[in-house]
Structure 1
Amino acid sequence: MHARSSHIHARSSAIDAGIAYIHDTVWPALTGLDGYIGLSLLVDRLSGRCIVTTAWQSEEAMIASRREADAMRDRAAQILGGSPTVDEWEIAALHREHHSTPGACVRVTWARVDSEQVDRAVDGYRLATIPALAELDGFCSCSLLVDRDSGFGVASATFDSLDAMRRSRAASDAIKAATVRDTGVEVIDECEFDLVLAHLRVPEMA
């Protein structure tokens, strides 16, 4: 399984129009493409950060979708008023306790590790991080996306509500510290988002 993420810093006044375009135009258009298995949209209205992620059954399907995706991304960026940063990933792990409901929020962590240590880091996420996250109140799901060549990765944890995500911060920080200690991962950035659209059909990969 693979995924493409488009990260845009939007004008606050343009976010609602961007959400409407992605919901009404991008999502239906992608649904007809071979190998497409879902889309999510994360928004942090305070900073204007928006992340659209699409999931694909294979790297070949993701690559084949580039022309259509590029055109829709350019239009979304025009509406949102920002320049997109695009990354393509392998979906290394995904665990879902239950599907999200309206009001869900997501904590996203960007990190890197030496490329030769990627397998070790993925194993650590599957064997230690996922079970620890699953114990948190209000936990919904989590995933890990990786670029094996560069060693970069992005981990996300979804919670049922903003309150649940906030209550999890201390425990999440402890889990993150253990991951850094055990795998040598370097945390680069972290941000919390509203889960605005959640239509991913990626199967369990824990």
Structure 2
Amino acid sequence: MYVRTIYATGDPAELDGVVEALSTEGRRLLSEQAGYRGMGLFVDRELGKLVAGTWWEDEKAEQASDDRLRERRAELLAPFARTVAVDKWEAAVARRPAALGSGAWFRLLRLEFEPSDADLLVDTFEKTGLPKLETIRGFEGASLLIDRAKGRATVGALWTDRNTLVASRAAVAGIRGEATAKARVITRSLEEFEVVFVAPVSPA
């Protein structure tokens, strides 16, 4: 599968309005697109940050939907967003939650690597990172998204609630240190977000 992500920042006071728009009209528009497989929406209400990820059955479906929705997406984001970054990724590994209750949280890690090490990163996440994450209380799922050509990746992990996310920090730091050294990647940023919703990714 392929994923399109949006990273927007703006006035925290205007965040709720765009969250409502994306949760209603945004989801409706996406559901009408061929190849749509689900969406996640995450926010930092204190700083005024929003992350959205939409999942697609293949690269062609992702591109076609982007062409059709780009203008309307900008309109929906406009009341809040002062900066917007849109990125496209291959979903290299995905362990998605069957269901996610209210109050869930999300941790986002951004990585850089030499393009020739892309397969090493995928293998390390599958065999080292993910199995160890699955042993931590409150872990609900994780995905590795990569851009092989540009040598960029993100790891997003879902947690039952903020308490389990906070409690996981030390253990996850150890896993992160081991896995990034083994995969020869550089950590560029680490952020945490409240989960607005995660719409299940339907089978392709």
Ranges of 4+ aligned residues in structure 1 off by more than 4 Å: none
Letter in 2 for 1:106: F
Deviations 1:13-69 (A, max 9, x none): 111101110011110111011000011111011221101111000000001111233
| Whole-Å separation in 2 of the counterparts to 1:5 and 1:84 | 10
What is residue 194 of structure 1 aligned with on the other side? 194
Q: Is the 8 A contact 2:99 2:200 kept in 1?
A: no
Question: What fraction of aligned residue pairs are identical, expressed as a percent?
Answer: 25
| Whole-Å separation in 1 of the counterparts to 2:159 and 2:14 | 26
What is residue 36 of structure 1 aligned with on the other side? 36
Structure 1 range deviating more: 71-80 or 39-48: 71-80
Q: Does the alignment pair 1:21 with 2:21?
A: yes
What is residue 75 of structure 2 aligned with on the other side? 75
| Whole-Å separation in 2 of the counterparts to 1:97 and 1:45 | 24
What is residue 95 of structure 2 aligned with on the other side? 95
Deviations 1:168-204 (A, max 9, x none): 0000000000012111110000100011021131569
Q: Is the 8 A contact 1:140 1:159 kept in 2?
A: yes
| Whole-Å separation in 2 of the counterparts to 1:180 and 1:94 | 18
Q: Unmatched 5+ residue regions in structure 2?
A: none
Query: Aligned pair count?
Result: 204
What is residue 172 of structure 2 aligned with on the other side? 172
Q: Unmatched 5+ residue regions in structure 1?
A: none
Structure 1 range deviating more: 72-81 or 161-170: 72-81
| Whole-Å separation in 1 of the counterparts to 2:203 and 2:109 | 21
Q: Is the 8 A contact 2:98 2:200 kept in 1?
A: no
**RMSD (Å), alpha carbons:** 1.4
TM-score (norm 1): 0.95
Q: Is the 8 A contact 1:77 1:83 kept in 2?
A: no
Q: Is the 8 A contact 1:55 1:202 kept in 2?
A: no
Letter in 1 for 2:76: A
| Whole-Å separation in 2 of the counterparts to 1:130 and 1:62 | 26
